[in-house]
Structure 1
């Protein structure tokens, strides 16, 4: 089985929101880094675990780290 980042930020929807999963579990939808960090905090990640640009931790699918302005 291939190694996979534990956090996946899925491609942006038309409104710029992105679905977030951790190890296959759906956490919800985020529209920016602040919302993403809150979802991760609720899932048990500490601040030290939230290096959003670390490809070993976060896989950004469909678009690089970023958010579409609404």
Structure 2
């Protein structure tokens, strides 16, 4: 099973592209941004999902790190 949320590798200028259900949600610069994108997608209490691999796949780099690559 693939996670429905993908947080891509940090960009050269900082931040990570977030894709929810195949749609680009935006560029997160920290976990607060990520939680806000998830809330907008209908996941009201999303903070508990950030480390759940069934929900979120962190690609490239360490989870919760948004610094420029």
Within a 5 Å distance, the mapping from 1:40-59 to structure 2 comes to 40-47=38-45, 50-59=48-57
Bigger radius of gyration: 1
TM-score normalized by structure 1?
0.84
Where in structure 1 do 4 or more consecutive aligned residues deviate above 3 Å?
Answer: none
Question: Structure 2-normalised TM-score?
Answer: 0.85
The residue that corresponds to 1:67 in the other structure is 66
Instruction: Considering fraction of residues, name the structure with more strand.
Output: 2
- Give the structure, 1 or 2, with the largest relative contact order (CA under 8 Å, sep 6 or more): 2
Q: What runs of 5+ residues in structure 2 fail to find an aligned partner?
A: none
Question: Please, which runs of 5 or more residues in structure 1 have no aligned partner?
Answer: none
| Residue 26 (structure 2) pairs with residue 18 (structure 1) | no
Aligned residues: 67
Note the aligned Cα RMSD (angstroms).
Answer: 1.6
